[in-house]
Chains A and B, each alone.
Chain A
Amino acid sequence: MQANDSQVLVLCVLADGPLHGYAINTAIADLTGNRLGPGSLYGALTRLEAKGLIESLEGADRQRPVRLTADGRELLEREMRSMARVAAAGLKSLGLEPS
């Protein structure tokens, strides 16, 4: 795995299209029920940009939107498939059907 939990969450919400930091955190809150702390969110964005998994776009206002790169999309797909396999195996062990 090349990304930790907060990085995967950021990649996940960016799959729908470019967003700026505040909107990323709002989308994460919609998904998980919790906003990331500002240090965690911008730490994740800095790491993802350094690894070339996201890239910045020119913002229309003061905020700086970012989008997934092709590498980011590929990594996200790998992570999601891996998580889906683990989730399916876990649910099967518990005798449950995937919802």
Chain B
Amino acid sequence: MNPLVRLYPPSIRDAWGRDLDAEARHAGWRAIPNLALGAADAWLHPMIWPSPDAPRRRTRAVSLAITVALCAALLAYLATEYGDALPARFAHSTASDLPALGVLIGLLLMAPMPRVRALPAALARTARFLTLPFLGAAAVVLIVHIAPIADVPAPAKSTVLIAWWAALLGGAIQTARLAARLGPTATTPPGPARLAAGMWTVAASVALLAAMVVGFAAAGAHPLALVAGCGLALSSLACLATLRDLRELAGAGR
């Protein structure tokens, strides 16, 4: 199979993989940009992936919102912690808490309700998915408490920092995967209205944070904050794309 076809979401590959591969082979190298853009577009629209029912589509939308929230948290953390990308008076102010609170409210609004009967299996799966990143982060915290990071020699300090970011990134990826895997068997997905309200709240909060970070980046000419701000803006657009899909599918009675 064409490597770019492998980049498509699994349910699209299952439905169209062979046909897509045949078409890509026929088109040759000229198809590369179109295939890559198609794969990126597909990941940004989880609600339209082939699906047996509407609840599964809404579960995917919730997974996307969780992924956006985790990306936003990591980008904001990156811009706050490294290279003084954001002024300390902003990073520790009520203004920076407002978007975080908005994202949290948005996620709560669209939170799937756990099914009591499936709870033990869901908890076991949660433990399986999150134990490794949790242990990684805990190990870093323990090391830093035993030997303050300022006293650690440079190579070891880099290793600790890499381990910290790997644990955070791993935790974010595993949380998003967990939300997608639990699905309608373990949870009752939100209805369309609750999903739309939550998604609008997350989109607006992340857009607000993006505007704040880009504003500081422009004022301080700080490239890292600018990159983080652009990433936040793109994350917000992913939520808006999902809202559009939700509206279109509702309009088509799906």
Cβ of B38: which chain A residues have Cβ within 8 Å of it?
Answer: 37-40, 42-43
Instruction: Determine if B19 and A64 form an interchain contact, defined as CB atoms under 8 angstroms apart.
Output: yes
Nearest-neighbour CB distance to chain B for A83, whole angstroms, equals 20
CB within 8 Å: A-B pair count: 88
Most B C-beta atoms less than 10 A away, residue of A35, A39, A50, A71 = A39
B20, closest chain A residue (CB): A42
Within the complex, which residue of A20, A38, A51 is in contact with B24, where a contact is CB–CB below 8 Å?
A38
Within the complex, which residue of B19, B31, B254 is in contact with A51, where a contact is CB–CB below 8 Å?
B254
A2–B253 alpha-carbon span in the complex (Å): 12
Cβ of A51: which chain B residues have Cβ within 8 Å of it?
Answer: 248-249, 252, 254
- Size bin of chain A's contact surface: 20 to 34
Interface SS, A side = helix
Cβ of B51: which chain A residues have Cβ within 8 Å of it?
Answer: 50
0/1 per residue, B9-43, Cβ < 8 Å to A? 00010011011101110110001011111110110
Instruction: Determine if A63 and B20 form an interchain contact, defined as CB atoms under 8 angstroms apart.
Output: no
Given A2-B252, A52-B252, also A46-B49 (CB < 8 A): yes
A37–B26 alpha-carbon span in the complex (Å): 10
Within the complex, which residue of A35, A39, A49, A56 is in contact with B36, where a contact is CB–CB below 8 Å?
A39
